[in-house]
Amino acid sequence: KGLRPAAELSAVVKANAYGLGVHRVGPALLEAGCQIFFVAYAFEGTALRQLIGPDAKICIFNGPDADNITDFYANRLTPVLNTAAQIDLWERSGGDTPAMLHVDTGMNRLGLSPDEATQLAAKDTGLTISHILSHFSCSDDPEAAENTTQLARFQEARETLHTVFPEVQHSISASGGLFLPHEIEENLTRPGLALYGICPQVSLESALKTVAQLEAPVLQVRELKPGDPVGYGSTYRANKHMQVATIALGYGDGYSRALSGKGEVMLANTACPILGIVSMDLITVDISNCSEEVKIGDMAECFGHTLNIEKVAANAGTIPYELLVTLGDRVKRVYTD
Ligand SMILES: *Cc1c(COP(=O)(O)O)cnc(C)c1O
């Protein structure tokens, strides 16, 4: 909010609030004053409507289709219209109910092209459009030329559409956009990741306060002799006397198998490397360097306040977004109010 004080702050809570649990995150954000929410699917919007009551706006990024159009009216969901076909469907379904319009300014993913926006502006449309949206492709990199190009195209599209929708407001920044140094004029921002204390611009990773921590307990502690193997395929072999701990976390919990032999966890304030392959339910880590004794039941921090999620994601060859949304149902979410 402080980064873009003139704009209203909405909350993107798609994919179960980035894996963290929309049943708690949605109501908490509502209580904090959020009045506009975004999810990807109408069914996510329907579930959210039950959680946050009738007043806040719930907007659906992927827009309506013939199968779910009635859900929009039944649950007062606001569609984001992305294509000529969706515009047509919304108009025919009774369409002066407010919608948002997505204009693609260079990502070539979703939204009307600037030409289609011009065509729409030339038509006699019965639509009521509250906001024009667009989305940056490279806002995690402040130096990227795309940021400037997209802002210029967005400005043009707004001017074109302003003639048919004189009251329309506009929104382009997701989390990355909030941290861009560019002069960005908009009425509404749409962060998702940043709400959870993670900054998509790696150079600014400490700009926000971490809110999510993944912990898992030690199930067993053992000694290894030189030559002893660890885990499936014996891909790791001890080259000295070692102490190792087996931890109850694996790819069945969404902890990436790509962390095999690469990742680390924190135990007794010490970074403990993962030895061998990540299994479905377990990992084994090297605790030889821990200054304090590691005991059964101790909790390892797998990302969070000490071991930042950006680093764990980089080790897994992915981004923090994917680590969060792939956390499985077996991972118990504990909320500290
Ligand atoms: C997911 C999404 C957002 C939120 O993105 P973050 O990078 O998590 O802030 C905003 N706008 C659109 C169109 C999205 O798909």
Tens digits of per-residue pLDDT, 129-181?
999 999 999 999 999 999 999 999 999 999 999 999 999 999 999 999 999 99
Distance set, CA 168 to CA 103, 121, 162, 327 (Å): 13, 13, 7, 38
| Active-site pick, 73, 123, 232, 335 | 232
**H helical segments located in the chain:** 14-18, 22-31, 42-52, 69-74, 84-92, 114-122, 145-162, 175-178, 309-315, 320-325
pLDDT at residue 337 above 80? no
In terms of Cβ atoms closer than 10 Å to its own Cβ (0-12, 13-18, 19+), residue 211 is middle
pLDDT of residue 124: 79
CB-ligand 1 contact for 174 (6 Å cutoff) = yes
pLDDT band at 206; cut points 50, 70, 90: low
CB-ligand 1 contact for 49 (6 Å cutoff) = no
0.85 cut: is pTM over it?
Answer: yes
What CA–CA distance (Å, rounded) separates 173 from 319? 19
Catalytic, 232? Answer yes
What CA–CA distance (Å, rounded) separates 244 from 246? 7
What CA–CA distance (Å, rounded) separates 151 from 141? 14
CB-ligand 1 contact for 61 (6 Å cutoff) = yes
CB-ligand 1 contact for 200 (6 Å cutoff) = yes
Per residue in 221-271, pLDDT (tens digit) is 999 999 999 999 999 999 999 999 999 999 999 999 999 999 999 999 999
pLDDT of residue 151: 98
Radius of gyration in angstroms for the set of CA atoms belonging to the chain, rounded to a whole number: 24
Q: Write out the E strands in 176-290.
A: 188-189, 214-224, 229-230, 236-237, 242-247, 264-267, 270-273, 283-286
In terms of Cβ atoms closer than 10 Å to its own Cβ (0-12, 13-18, 19+), residue 189 is buried
What CA–CA distance (Å, rounded) separates 77 from 246? 47
pLDDT at residue 203 above 80? no
The alpha carbon of 141 and the centre of ligand 1 are apart by a number of angstroms equal to 15
Catalytic, 262? Answer no
In terms of Cβ atoms closer than 10 Å to its own Cβ (0-12, 13-18, 19+), residue 10 is buried
Amino acid at 137: S
The alpha carbon of 320 and the centre of ligand 1 are apart by a number of angstroms equal to 13
Match 């030889």 to its residue by tokens: 288
The alpha carbon of 274 and the centre of ligand 1 are apart by a number of angstroms equal to 32
Q: What is the mean pLDDT of residues 115-119?
A: 94
Name the β-bridge partners of 285.
245, 274
The alpha carbon of 191 and the centre of ligand 1 are apart by a number of angstroms equal to 6
CB-ligand 1 contact for 175 (6 Å cutoff) = yes
The alpha carbon of 38 and the centre of ligand 1 are apart by a number of angstroms equal to 9
Match 């999620």 to its residue by tokens: 309
Per residue in 28-83, pLDDT (tens digit) is 999 999 999 999 999 999 999 999 999 999 999 999 999 999 999 999 999 999 99
pLDDT of residue 169: 97
Task: Please indicate whether residue 282 or residue 210 has the higher confidence score (pLDDT).
Answer: 282
pLDDT band at 117; cut points 50, 70, 90: very high
The mean of the pLDDT values for the chain is 95
Per residue in 18-41, pLDDT (tens digit) is 999 999 999 999 999 999 999 999
Residue 183 makes CB contacts below 8 A (sequence gap 6+) with none
Q: What is the mean pLDDT of residues 197-213?
A: 81
pLDDT at residue 273 above 80? yes
Mutation test residue for ligand 1: of 132, 137, 139, 190, the one with most atoms within 8 Å of CB: 190
Q: For a pLDDT cut of 90, what percent of the chain falls above it? A: 92
pLDDT of residue 205: 60
